[in-house]
Amino acid sequence: SAVISQKPSRDICQRGTSLTIQCQVDSQVTMMFWYRQQPGQSLTLIATANQGSEATYESGFVIDKFPISRPNLTFSTLTVSNMSPEDSSIYLCSAGGPLPYGYTFGSGTRLTVV
């Protein structure tokens, strides 16, 4: 199964600024997914990123706030724009792949907005 390197692992940011989170996969994967995990909560899907096309966003998430890039089959970024304290969460990327071992996760980015 693919191994994902996600960075930064954590950051503290000022409100109104933006942060870009990067995920590098050690093999080519068709689909990547971005999740948000608020404190004590489960994972909520933000968007699905397919290489060569625009990301597909879930209800409640918009491209202006969470722009995603997927320039090739091994890399994706998620930007959290114009941050507010409500954006404080863990953000995780995931790669889809052949079952059963296909799904792997980055180690997460713990974001605190002050």
Partner 1 sequence: GEDVEQSLFLSVREGDSSVINCTYTDSSSTYLYWYKQEPGAGLQLLTYIFSNMDMKQDQRLTVLLNKKDKHLSLRIADTQTGDSAIYFCADPHSGNTPLVFGKGTRLSVIA
Binding site for partner 1 (CB under 8 A): 1, 6, 30-31, 33, 41-43, 45, 48, 92, 94, 96-108, 110
Q: List beta partners, residue 35.
A: 45, 92
Least distance from C-beta 54 to partner 1, angstroms? 16
Q: List beta partners, residue 72.
A: 75
Least distance from C-beta 64 to partner 1, angstroms? 21
CB closer to partner 1, 40 vs 85 = 40
CB closer to partner 1, 83 vs 93 = 93
Angle ∠(43,29,82) on CA atoms, nearest 5: 45
Least distance from C-beta 108 to partner 1, angstroms? 5
CB closer to partner 1, 12 vs 17 = 12
**28 Cβ neighbours under 8 A, 6+ residues apart:** 73, 74
Least distance from C-beta 16 to partner 1, angstroms? 27
How far CA 50 is from CA of 34, 70, 81, 90, in Å, comes to 11, 7, 21, 22
